[in-house]
Structure 1
Amino acid sequence: MPAPGARPAGSVWQGRGVYFVYDRSQCVPWVREPGDAQLRRQKISRQAAELITGDCLVLDVETTGTGRDDEVCEIAIVDAAGHVLLDTLVRPSREIPVEASFVNGISNAMVATAPTWPEVAERYASIVEGRRVVAYNATFDSRLIRQTHQAYGLSAPVLDTDCLMLMYAVWNGEWDKRRESWRWCKLIEAAGESGVANPDGHRALADAVMTLGVLRYLQARSNGRRSPRKSR
């Protein structure tokens, strides 16, 4: 297309009218204006880039359940470069129900000799202090960590969290009519759409690594366009 202010080099008669033609040296590539969906994804990509360049942490926990008295039974934290800062099983104050073990693969035998939360809490606090923490469903992970502190009468550090599940929901762009918001995707679904491998399903470190992979994917798509794997 002609650059702003370019003058026609000539004209051509074609069918029903005259069309101006321009010297190629005075033309610029035609760039399609981004639509609302692309602009929305660009914003999410910038947020992901800000988190990664700001050296965020990525956290994941496995738990004894989802209730108000459940606890953390495994925790992992990696930094933005993928270095493992924390990866440990945790022996909870209650037994892990069979249904929870079925989901996360962690049995009572596996945690029998693991440290308790009071033995992990100081190290955990020193890692997250003053850092932005990314988690997939950050509200859940934060609540379970807080509950686990409370189970031992400990004060939980306040986390500065960003929820990748909510970020990816905006990126993905599927509207949930019932909830009247963007549809939440499971981590494994987001990872699959992002081309991120699932090395060892539903353990804390594997999920933290997958979460970082999805975050990196969002950062890399700064033009707001999806990879060829999926378009909408």
Structure 2
Amino acid sequence: MASFDGCPEVFHALLGERDQVIELAVTDIRGAVLLCTRLRPTVEIDPQAMGVHGITETELSNEPTWTQVAPALARLLSGRHLVIFNSSFDSRMLRQTASAFGDQLSWWQEQNCLCAMKLAADAFGSTNRHGTISLADATCEAGVSWKGRAHSAATDAIATADLVTEIAKVQRDLVVQLQELQSKGNLE
């Protein structure tokens, strides 16, 4: 599991081509945090974005840069299949951040990413005009309890892990029910 921003769709529209990841977290499927760090960007943080995540430039002044964090992130994620809420957005933000530091991000394999937002929209239906669902709406639909402050990378990554686990449970239950119906001859 990985979350690199965890912000709502309206926030995603705010972030332009120069914006960068300022906080990232990676968990395993059980929600155990494997990596959580803030990053010092090379650009100013948009004030509206700051209003969403609450992280100020002053708070980031002594944090590591992408160059310092990327090797550990690459070791952790390389060759693994990842589940990311809104994976196309987070992938774009990773590429932008890496590019700002002259990193080609050669280890990043977007094809190994499964989008939890798409899974959730398939499971619970879309809740917006984009045909997607927010992490907040998806976790609500799945009955997932938040374990921290929303819009922090670790909390959002944990929520994503819990969400995917709940979707998998529902899927397993549906398969069992379908098999029972088929075995009773109630379904052809």
Q: Taking CA–CA contacts closer than 8 Å with sequence separation of 6 or more, which of the two structures ends up with the larger relative contact order?
A: 2
1:224 to partner: Cα distance? 3.1
* Structure 1 residue aligned with 2:186: none
Distance in 2 (alpha carbons) for counterparts of 1:217 and 1:95:
38
Aligned-pair identity in percent equals: 32
Distance in 2 (alpha carbons) for counterparts of 1:108 and 1:153:
21
Distance in 2 (alpha carbons) for counterparts of 1:212 and 1:154:
28
Q: Which amino acid counterpart does residue 147 of structure 1 have in structure 2?
A: Q
1:109 aligns with 2:58: yes
SS in 2 for 1:170: helix
* Structure 2 residue aligned with 1:163: 115
SS in 2 for 1:209: helix
SS in 1 for 2:113: strand
Distance in 2 (alpha carbons) for counterparts of 1:165 and 1:97:
25
More strand by share: 1
Distance in 2 (alpha carbons) for counterparts of 1:197 and 1:110:
28
Distance in 1 (alpha carbons) for counterparts of 2:97 and 2:60:
15
Distance in 1 (alpha carbons) for counterparts of 2:46 and 2:127:
35
Q: Which amino acid counterpart does residue 117 of structure 1 have in structure 2?
A: W
* Structure 2 residue aligned with 1:224: 174
* Structure 2 residue aligned with 1:74: 23
SS in 2 for 1:85: strand
Q: Which amino acid counterpart does residue 113 of structure 2 have in structure 1?
A: T
Q: Which amino acid counterpart does residue 60 of structure 1 have in structure 2?
A: S
SS in 1 for 2:16: coil
Distance 1:94-1:214 versus aligned 2 partners, 3 A rule: same
SS in 1 for 2:26: strand
Distance in 1 (alpha carbons) for counterparts of 2:167 and 2:118:
13
Query: TM-score, length-normalised on structure 1?
Result: 0.66
Distance 1:171-1:125 versus aligned 2 partners, 3 A rule: same
* Structure 2 residue aligned with 1:85: 34
1:88 to partner: Cα distance? 0.4
Distance 1:175-1:148 versus aligned 2 partners, 3 A rule: closer
1:149 paired residue among 83, 90, 98: 98
1:89-131, Cα deviation, whole Å (9 max, x unpaired) = 1000012121111011111111111001100010111111100
- What residue ranges of structure 2 are gaps of 5+ in the alignment? 176-188
Distance in 2 (alpha carbons) for counterparts of 1:88 and 1:129:
18
Supply the RMSD in Å over aligned alpha carbons: 2.0
* Structure 1 residue aligned with 2:124: 172
Runs of 4+, deviation exceeding 2 Å:
62-65, 173-176
More helix by share: 2
Q: Which amino acid counterpart does residue 107 of structure 1 have in structure 2?
A: T
Distance in 1 (alpha carbons) for counterparts of 2:126 and 2:152:
27
Distance in 1 (alpha carbons) for counterparts of 2:156 and 2:78:
22
- Is this contact kept in 1: 2:127–2:133, CA < 8 A? no
1:201 to partner: Cα distance? 1.1
* Structure 2 residue aligned with 1:41: none
Higher CA-based Rg: 1
Q: Which amino acid counterpart does residue 68 of structure 2 have in structure 1?
A: E
Q: Which amino acid counterpart does residue 149 of structure 1 have in structure 2?
A: A
SS in 2 for 1:224: helix
SS in 2 for 1:121: helix
Mapping of 1:126-141 within 5 angstroms?
126-141=75-90
